[in-house]
Structure 1
């Protein structure tokens, strides 16, 4: 007989260095003359049919919360997009996608290798939303990468390659995801404000757990699984206390972790407490891409991965602790992103039960 009891009790902070995403400026933004290129148009699809499916699937709670329609493509540096040669010998490759009506767009690279000094940025045509720079720190043995979301229906991908690493970079886009409901656009999304009434904005007071909650919320994240679904999870500590970026989530969220993307500290700046009014969106965009599977098990529905990149020190995150004892607390509380919603907290005033597995 095997007994499994896991309780979140404490968090320990770590401070590491890595390149922070969503900083810097794409090379083309510095050009005096705009050099536009023809966009690649994604085909129309039956949105109503997907929404009807979602109405059923969303009630099951046994899979990631779907937000997007995937389109399979095969676009790389040599068969699509446009190259521009710069006077200093560097080169810029850009490709532009449009998908009518998309709230967001995101991408899965089936081949991703960035040499040192080269960068990749994603941004919308209005230049109001920017992801990057992705650089050599995001390289992995599997040479794949899933991006976070860019707001809008007209999105550019830009690769800047220094002359000294000419032809060393490899980019192949395998999927374009049309986000038809999204965690970042609360006016039209289902994710924001879609959780149940028992979930309150994480900055709402919860009494005796308040201090622990305010610390632990820094370790909770939302992950993008499979390119088109959301799940919750948290950074989890190890016995070495060395800041290894382990991330614990549910097994029903599993897809290839190399394509996952993570977002931390997505918290409403104006918490809604003791009310069913809608939460307002948070503007912090702290994202990382890619992870490696460490362990997972279906009966207990857990999945442990290690994020490929260290967590930037400026993000002010913590690693959540755990307890192997059989002690059962009188009450519990939890922090998560239910149904892709902005970070929430809930309290259970009853003691948890014990699960015994053969």
Structure 2
């Protein structure tokens, strides 16, 4: 139990338990209400109202004694279709049997059937009298070797139990209602857990999506609540082993009463408490438990529905401390939460601080994000490798304090008390492999690195990461070329042709490949001390590129960065010392830049023969007769102004000027 010295806080919220029911899902007692007796005339098995003053005092004592939190009071009954309730003929060859069960002032009701053997074509339904809360049909699929059925709870003070079966199967039905469990605390609702808890849907949980679905809220005996988790085994065969705390009360005598609620979570971070308890399993077989390390292990009656995405938590039995730790749990049986400890764990006795004490527990000094509460008991503690190293026994942590929690140590539970009924190893290492750890198993996902290998050498070695998702491999040939045809790495060849060819990069062929190489290149700061300049990091150092590296320009007239017109290793234009106030390569043709000295900004040099006499670029009749002769006068001819001359120079006294 969690925080054994704290008073149990009241749980409070209304869950979305029964939603829109389709015609096919509607119980016969509702769908054909006009054809059968009114529900108010059906026998009511009434349990006594809960005396809150008495049970509150009991719960304080239970908390101090380290017992599991309680949400309902179990009432023993003996109700069978042979002597109780009412049978009616529906007129189509089928029969319906009904009985009611409830208690005045009950917050919820759940039922325990000490005998349950449903006929091949029969079904049992439970629903609220108003039909607003309905559970799925229980059928012959739910028949188990232990012969019991324990239902999930319904938020109502009165339940209708309904059996429908073919008339010829009536004598084969074996059914006895033996426990009516009256809820006095709401199992899931608003404002229960502390405000510091972090919903698993929040971004904090993104790195733990594989482990989150392995954790469930649980009910035992129709009256106790805790957390627990599905756990992987070395065969990785999806055997539905489920683990929780010893003090949560599961034993060989009541394992059949276990009900697990999967994916009970909010649908938004910090949003409304709108989790649903509709994804549930009921029934299990006891496998082992040991009080010293406070563990209990059962095997569920059946596999969870694949649509629920339940995963199987990995574990580590080496006994090594976690460098960081994560808890996934149901605080106060609230929607699922995640908590983080960024410091290393230590090994101590339960509630002790001396290291290693008796070595039975893992101590979390204080939670850096989130906390744990009553209801978190039995939840897993994961190490930095996403492997369980313990389950919550108890502690003092809460929102608003920096107190510790203690987890029963998985490595101690491995051998436990030395027998199959007191240790984990018999069940979680069925092949006696001696493995120290296994990873979380995502059904349909990867379980080992081999599952992720795509067969392509040049893609590197893919790995199976946390949560059963494949992670891409690293470059197998850093600094070299990768040859997929023969799975080899080969030296790169830089041909210095001005083109960045396949296999060449800025590290091995800087003359051809102009990408920045520094880790900080691209941050907008020209860090010359780190080797950045206008060539190696043009994006930061005022360098511009235009095609192949032979057209790279930095500050000045397209000359190297040592140009006297530039300062700071050629990365900044300056007018001091005769420098120019412009940078060739800044994509602006300005100042003294022209086609000849800065083509990257001003365009390519003029081409003689393009029918344009580009005088500014030095073309004249003498140097380019094709463009300039005929449209201007050659040297020595008379002229009026400069525009008459191909040389653009008309000189001399007035009335006697000639082209010079």
Q: Which residue pairs with 1:167 in the alignment? A: 171
- What is the Cα-based RMSD across aligned positions, in Å? 2.2
In the TM superposition, what whole-angstrom CA distance separates every residue of 1:32-91 from its partner, at most 9, and x where no partner exists?
50522242322234222112322443455x322101122111111112111111222221
| 1:276 corresponds to | none
- Asked if structure 1 preserves the Cα contact closer than 8 Å seen for 2:257 and 2:283, the reply is yes
Matched, 1:40 2:45: yes
Q: Distance in 1 between matches of 2:228 and 2:156?
A: 26
* Pair member with larger Rg: 2
Unaligned runs of 5+ in 2: 1-21, 349-358, 361-411, 413-660
| Cα distance in 2, alignment partners of residues 128 and 24 from structure 1 | 12
1:88 aligns with 2:92: yes
> Which residue, out of 208, 211, 215, partners 2:206?
211
Measured after TM superposition, the shift of residue 198 of structure 1 is 4.9
Give, in whole Å, the separation in 2 of the partners of 1:108 and 1:300: 30
* Among candidates 255, 258, 261, match of residue 263 of structure 1: 261
Equivalent residue for 1:238, pick from 219, 233, 242: 233
1:136-155 to structure 2, matched below 5 A, reads 136-155=140-159
Q: Secondary structure at the match of 2:130?
A: coil
* Cα distance in 1 between the residues matched to 2:311 and 2:49: 43
- CA 1:212/1:319 → structure 2, altered by over 3 Å: closer, same or farther? farther
SS in 2 for 1:325: coil
Within 5 Å, which residues of 2 pair with 1:286-297?
A: 286-297=279-290
Q: Which residue of 2 aligns with 1:306?
A: 299
CA distance in 1, matches of 2:74, 2:322: 43
1:248 and 2:243 matched: yes
Match of 2:18 in 1: none
Cα contact 1:268–1:282 (8 A) shared by 2: yes
Q: Mark the CA change 1:140 to 1:154 in structure 2 (over 3 Å): closer, same or farther.
A: same
Q: Shift in Å at residue 271 of structure 1? A: 2.8
- Using the TM superposition, give the Cα deviation of residue 244 of structure 1 relative to its aligned residue in structure 2, in angstroms: 1.4
Aligned mate of 1:345, from 338, 341, 355: 338
Work out the CA distance in 1 between the residues paired with 2:113 and 2:33: 30
Asked if the contact 2:259/2:280 (under 8 Å) is kept, the reply is yes
CA offsets, 1:302-356, max 9 Å, x none?
Answer: 1111110111111121111112334433110110113322211111122112353
In structure 2, the partner of 1:202 is 200
* 1:170-189 deviation per Cα after TM superposition (whole angstroms, max 9, x unaligned): 111111011011224x25xx
1:223: how far off?
1.1
Change (3 A) 1:72 1:32: closer
Is the 1:261–1:288 Cα contact (8 Å) retained in structure 2?
Answer: yes
Question: What CA distance in whole angstroms lies between the structure 2 residues aligned with 1:156 and 1:284?
Answer: 19
Does 2:114 align with 1:110? yes
Give the strand-richer structure, 1 or 2.
1
Higher relative contact order (CA 8 A, sep 6+): 1
TM-score by length of 1: 0.83
The reply to whether residue 318 of structure 1 matches residue 311 of structure 2 is yes
Counterpart in the other structure of 2:551: none
- Whether the 8 Å CA contact 1:65–1:340 is kept in 2: the answer is no
Indicate the residue corresponding to 1:135 in structure 2: 139
Say whether 1:28 aligns with 2:36: no
Between 342-351 and 324-333, the greater mean CA deviation after superposition:
324-333
Q: How far apart, in 2, do the equivalents of 1:301 and 1:110 lie?
A: 27
The corresponding residue for 1:280 is 273
Aligned to 2:585: none
Partner secondary structure for residue 289 of structure 2:
strand
1:334 corresponds, among 327, 330, 335, to: 327
- The answer on whether the counterparts of 2:102 and 2:182 sit within 8 Å (CA) in structure 1 is no
Of 73-82 and 264-273, the range deviating more from structure 2: 264-273
Give the secondary structure class of the aligned counterpart of 2:343. coil
> Could you say which residue in structure 2 is the equivalent of 1:4?
none
| Alpha-carbon distance between aligned partners in 2 of 1:195 and 1:57, rounded to the nearest angstrom | 20
Higher mean displacement: 100-109 or 341-350 = 341-350
Aligned-partner Cα distance in 2 for 1:162–1:246: 36
Q: State the alpha-carbon separation in 2 of the partners of residues 312 and 245 from structure 1.
A: 11
Q: CA deviation at 1:146?
A: 1.3
**CA gap 1:55/1:225 in 2 versus in 1, 3 angstroms:** same
Q: CA deviation at 1:203?
A: 2.0
CA distance in 2, matches of 1:82, 1:157: 11
What is the rounded CA distance, in whole Å, between the counterparts of 1:254 and 1:98 in structure 2? 25
* 1:179 and 2:183 correspond: yes
- Asked if the contact 2:244–2:296 (Cα under 8 Å) also holds between the matched residues in 1, the reply is yes
Judge conservation of contact 2:44–2:102 (CA < 8 Å) in 1: yes
Whole-angstrom distance in 1 between the partners of 2:78 and 2:224: 22
Structure 2 distance, partners of 1:48, 1:171, is 35
Shift of 1:283: 2.6
Whole-angstrom distance in 1 between the partners of 2:25 and 2:215: 26
Q: 1:196 Cα deviation (Å)?
A: 4.4
